[in-house]
Every structure is written in structure tokens, then in C-alpha cells.
Amino acid sequence: MSRGMSRGVSRTARRRLPLNAGAALVFVLSAFPVYWMILTAFKPTPEIQAETPVFWPSSLTLEHFATAARADGFAQFWRNSLLVTLTCVVLALVVALGAAYAVARMRWKGRRAFVLMVFVAQVAPWEALLIPMYVIARDTGMLDRLPTLTLIYFMITLPFTVVTLRSFLTGIPVELEEAARVDGCTRSQAFRRVTFPLLAPGLVATSLFGFITAWNEFAFANMLIIKNQDDRTLPVWLSSFSNVFGTDWGATMAASTLFALPVLLLFLVLQHRVAAGMAGGAVKG
Amino acid sequence: MNRPASAAGARPGPPGDGPARGRLGLRGLRNLWPYLLIAPTVVGAVLLLGYPLVRNLLMSVQEYGMGELIRGDAPFVGLANYWEILSDPELWEVVHRTLWWTGLNVLLIMVLGTLVALMLERLGRVMRIVVTSGLVLAWASPVIATTTVFQWLFASRLGVVNWALTRLGFASFENFSWTANGRAAFVVLLLLVVWQSVPFVAITLHAALLTVPAELHESARLDGAGAWRIFRSVTLPILRPVFGLVLCLEIIWVFRCFVQIWAVTGGGPDRATTTLPVHAYRIAQSLHRYDLGAAVSTLTVLLLLAVLIPYLRRMLRQEAEE
């Protein structure tokens, strides 16, 4: 470690070089797998099978996407995944909003215990619950059914949703609501007309997390959907890519790209909006 | 995770104190509201989290195989299942491996994550945006998509990693099968999990670093402190609480890690990548010994408690401060 005062620009420049080189390395290492996935998905088959990898293809093709889309049950698995994910997100938001409001805006006995329960639930060892869930689902006739997955994903995402919405809610001054109530609004009117609009970015940010969790979930989907193969979700289908596509890496990467697309897009679109919304809310507040 | 930084500061006094205003008659109903609002959450947690946990505990002291699953009644066998798994030398191998797996992963993740965070702080604006977007890309990539990509990167034939290593002079990597060799499969999984986890650590720690006031650095430098000294006495103390939280979370995540291992190696080859969660799953699914699987799961939870308790204490302390 060098120490002491630097003297002037040449030293800073010399110091910047390894720093920027390191930054470039980190960027390449973190982005390359994603780049390689998308590139392979669009690459003509001969270039995928070239002994020397082609890092910049001569032409692009949609053939692999067509292969992926023609795979058995492709549309069905998309429908299943979207259905499970969206219902889980909506359910978690509605339920969590109530709980978050109670924690952030009301004083009541047992509040601290409830918050503690939410924290504990947030780090619940879900992987350890695969076996009892399987047995319970079997006993109650919930095996091989998508609503079972929705319920489990709802519970997986709920604690985080409560915690995050709570902290968004505490960020919105309670005085705004109180002023509305002085003006004659009921508590629920005040919430609907004043707080809820300000909370919208928070809801968006929180649902992003819920969406990602449910969209990705593999272990329970793999454990609880067994006989009824039509009810599988995308992650389970994609994990068995070698049964579906063999060593057709183009099609596998096309399917992976399509699977990753909603999440990556949501991230790109929403992150900006969430940040902007939060800044806007802070200024208005 | 992403607690907005502004939320803590903007909290306006004790909530709900204001509007009591003497409407005592309605008070009973009013006091019921919070409980009605949390009821769905509590019911959900009890049915979908509490009950399965209890059921797991129960199954671990019952004889619960395929027959019991179909018939529905299971005899109580006390601690026999625990005895059976604890006296199985394979379990100790798995525990040993799980600790190594967790330790190595977490060490790499925390060291690399901290280095990247410190780097981000020193970068110019453009470079910082470039690196952050790369990190977010890795962070946001769905786990299963990433596992298929890593299998492609490390494919024995046409895989770009084998090509690169061969080009670098390691001829033995030509058509090397990463998943056929226990240690190699372990390395692939390690790289996969580290790749997925470093962005969260780096971005969170970088956000924490931003809260270090610049004047503090300035005055330390004026007092003649060197870079290492500044890091140790200014940066580190401010970073410590966040660092502790992130460390706990990473330990929990890596320890529980199941999907990546199951999707890439299925715990193989020859069980070389079987960690505790994979072990429990395997016993239950392929041997239909739900009782033993439940016992292993319970042990997993007990081991996790060692990390969970400090984590929860930190969360509660933070909660009390707010």
C-alpha cells in the first residue's frame, strides 16, 4: 500500500490505470455470461459449432427462437408461469399493504411481536420445507395443481413485501393523511386519495421483487408438479433442457433468453421509474 | 433489501398518536382495525409456514415412508430417525462438505464484493455506470437461465471456457468434462454462485460507502492518515453494520442453496456436490424416506439458527433505532 500525499496529476493518472483496468475486468466478467447467452441465441448454428468460438457473429438468425417456440408445451408453460407469478404478486401486494399500513400507521398491542414474526418469516428456510409441503399437498389433494404454487410463492414473497411497503409508507409523511382527515376525509379515503398515489412507486418496486422470486422459483415447482406435466412452469421445463433440446445450445440459449427477458426488461424499465418516483415523492412531500 | 435511505430519516413521530380525539365510543372497533389488517398475513404465515415447519418436526419423529404417505397414519418412533442419520457416515461427509461450500463461497463473495464496492467508489462517473450496469445484469439474470448458460460456458465440447483454457496452454482441458469430475463440478458451482452473489454485496456495500461523509475522509487525510489508515478508522466502522447484515444474508443464502446444485449436477458426480439441502431432497425423493429427509431438514434449520439469531438481533436493533 502506498501512502502519503500524492503530488500532482501524473500520479493520479498512474493510479487510475489499474483501477480502470480492474473496472473493465469486472464489467467483462459480470456481463459476459449474459452476452454469451444472447449471442448464442442469435448465432447461426455453424458458428455455434465452430471449433474456435465466434465472439462476433457474421450474421444473426431467429432460427433458434423458432425451435424453442416449437418445443412441446412451450406456450402452455409460459401461460402457467405468468399465471402463477402474476396472481402471487397481486395477492402478496394486497395482503402486505394491509399489514404494512397497520405497522407503519397504527399503534397496537403486539405490533413488535408481529414485526419480529415478519423478520423471522423473511429468512424462513424454505428449502427445508420441501418435504412437509409435498406431504401436506398430497394429503389435501393439492399436488399437481398450480394454485398450490401460487400460495407458496405468495408466502415466500409476503414478508419482504410487508417490510418494504412498510418502509415506503413510513417515508410518506403522516401529516398529509391527517390534513386530509381534518378536511373531512375518512381514514380510508385519506389513504386512497393521498397516500396511495405516493406509494405507487413503492408498490412497483416491491412487486418487481415478488415477480422475480416467483418467476424463478424452481424447487417447489419441481417437487409439487409431478404427474401433470402440462402444469409445469418455465424454470422446471428449462432445467431439463437437455431432454428437450439435446445438445442444441442455440435453442437452449434462445429459450433461456426468452425466460430471462421479462425480468431483465422489468429491471431496466422499472428501476429508472422507481428511482424517479421516489425522488419525485420526496420533493412533493 | 432495498430499503430507501430516506425512509429512516423522514419518519414523522409516533404514528397514529394524533387522531384519537376523544371518540371513545368508537374506540373498541377502531382498536380492532390493525388486527383485521394483519389477519391475512398471520393466517398465511401460520398455514403456509408455521404448519409445514411443525409438520416437518413431527415427521422427523415418525416412521414416514411410502406406505405411511399413502395410508396417512404414521407411528411415533422418537429420535430413531435422528439416530439413523447421525450414525450414517455419509451425513457427516455432507455436513463437512456443506460447511466448506458455505465457507468458500461466502469468503469469495464477501472479499470480491467488498473490493468491487471500494472500486466503484473510486471510479469516474462513466466507468461507474458501466460497471454497475454489468453488475445489475448479472444480479437480475434469473437463476435457472444462469445455470443453463454456465452449463453452456463449461460444456465439454464447444464450451468457451475449455477453449480459452486450452488456448492458454492447459492442453488437458481439451474436451474436459467439468461435471464428470467431483472437484471440477464443485468449482463450476462455486463460480456460478459467486457470479450471482457478488453484485448484491458490491451494490449494497457501495450504497453504504456513499453514506460516509466526504469531509470525514478529507479531515483524516489532512491529519496525515494514509489510505489504509483511513480505510480502517473511517470507512470500516461505518461499513460494519451493513457488512454484518450482508454477511449473514450471504451465509444463509449459500447454505440453503439448492436450485443451482440440483439443476447443474443433481448433487453428483458420485455425490461430490451433495450439500445438506440436496441430501434431504434426495433422501425424500429417491428413497421415499420422508422421515429421514425431514430429520435432515430439521438439522439444516438448527445449523442455520447459528446465523439466523445474530441476523435477527441486528434487524431488531435496527428496528429499535428507527
**What's the pLDDT tens digit per position in B44-59?**
999 999 999 999 999 9
Lowest-confidence region among A206-215, A264-273, B175-184, B228-237: A264-273
Contact criterion met (CB < 8 Å) for A1 and B4: no
Residue in A with minimal Cα distance to B38: A99
pLDDT category at B26 given cuts 50, 70, 90 is low
Give the Cα separation of A221 and B93 in Å (integer): 28
DSSP assignments along B108-151, one per residue: HHHHHHHHHHHHHHHS-HHHHHHHHHHHHHHHHS-HHHHHHHHH
The residue-averaged pLDDT of A109-120 equals 90
- Give residue A122's pLDDT: 86
What single-letter amino acid sits at B224?
G
Backbone angles phi, psi at A154, to 5 degrees: -55, -45
> Which of A61, A33, A34, A35 has the alpha carbon at shortest distance from A47?
A61
Could you tell me what percentage of chain A is helix, strand and coil, using 3-state DSSP and rounding each to the nearest 5? Answer: 80, 0, 20
Which three cell numbers, joined as nine digits, stand for B173?
482441458
- Give residue A66's pLDDT: 93
- Give residue A282's pLDDT: 34
Contact criterion met (CB < 8 Å) for A132 and B4: no
Nearest chain A Cα distance for residue B120, angstroms: 8
User: Which residue did the predictor score with more confidence, A3 or B207?
Assistant: B207
Mean pLDDT of chain A: 86
Give the Cα separation of B75 and B61 in Å (integer): 9
> Which of B89, B19, B96 has the alpha carbon at shortest distance from A183?
B19
Q: Does pLDDT of A207 surpass 90?
A: no
Q: Does pLDDT of A276 surpass 60?
A: no
| Cα angle B174, B176, B181; round to 5 | 160
Burial B221-254 (b: 16+ CB within 10 A, else e): eeeebeeeebbeebbeeebeebbebbbbbbbbbb
Using an 8 Å CB-CB cutoff, list chain A residues near B168.
Answer: none
Q: Does pLDDT of B17 surpass 70?
A: no
Q: Does pLDDT of A34 surpass 70?
A: yes
Q: Quick check: B233 contacting A, CB < 8 Å? A: no
The residue-averaged pLDDT of B263-288 equals 88
Give the Cα separation of B55 and B228 in Å (integer): 52
Give the Cα separation of A250 and A37 in Å (integer): 9
pLDDT category at B64 given cuts 50, 70, 90 is confident
The residue-averaged pLDDT of B81-107 equals 93
pLDDT category at B10 given cuts 50, 70, 90 is very low
The residue-averaged pLDDT of B60-85 equals 86
Q: Quick check: B300 contacting A, CB < 8 Å? A: yes
**Percentage above 70 pLDDT, chain A:** 90
Backbone angles phi, psi at B62, to 5 degrees: -120, 165
Contact criterion met (CB < 8 Å) for A135 and B59: yes
Report the topology of domain A72-284. Answer: MetI-like fold (1.10.3720)
- The partner residue sitting opposite B300, judged by closest CB among A101, A128, A256, is A128
pTM value is 0.85
Residue given cell 409516533 in the structure block? B14
Give the domain ranges of chain A: 12-61, 72-284
- Give residue A273's pLDDT: 57
Give the Cα separation of A95 and A210 in Å (integer): 13
The residue-averaged pLDDT of B281-295 equals 88
**What's the pLDDT tens digit per position in B120-135?**
988 888 899 899 989 9
pLDDT category at B278 given cuts 50, 70, 90 is very high
CATH number of B89-321: 1.10.3720.10
Q: Does pLDDT of A12 surpass 50?
A: yes
Using an 8 Å CB-CB cutoff, list chain B residues near A104.
Answer: 15
- Give residue A10's pLDDT: 67
Interface of B with A in 280-299 (CB under 8 A): 280-281, 284-285, 290, 293-294, 297-298
Q: Does pLDDT of A242 surpass 70?
A: yes
- Give residue A8's pLDDT: 55
The residue-averaged pLDDT of B88-108 equals 94
**What's the pLDDT tens digit per position in A134-174?**
999 988 988 999 999 999 999 999 999 998 899 888 888 88
Count chain A–chain B contacts defined by CB atoms under 8 A: 299
Q: Does pLDDT of B8 surpass 60?
A: no
Cα-Cα-Cα-Cα dihedral sign, residues B86, B87, B93, B94: negative
Q: Write down the H helix ranges in B211-289.
A: 214-222, 227-230, 236-256, 259-264, 276-287
Question: How far is residue A160 from each of residues A117, A206, B260, B273, measured CA to CA in Å?
Answer: 12, 8, 22, 30
User: Which residue did the predictor score with more confidence, B245 or A11?
Assistant: B245
> Which of B142, B144, B148, B151 has the alpha carbon at shortest distance from B259?
B144
User: Which residue did the predictor score with more confidence, B280 or A8?
Assistant: B280
Give the Cα separation of A128 and B194 in Å (integer): 22
Q: Quick check: A194 contacting B, CB < 8 Å? A: no
> How many CB atoms sit inside 10 A of residue B14's CB?
9
- Does the ipTM surpass 0.90? no
- The partner residue sitting opposite A131, judged by closest CB among B262, B297, B301, is B297
- Give residue B160's pLDDT: 92
The residue-averaged pLDDT of A52-65 equals 89
Mutate one of A15, A30, A252 to test the B interface: name it (highest B CB count within 10 A): A30
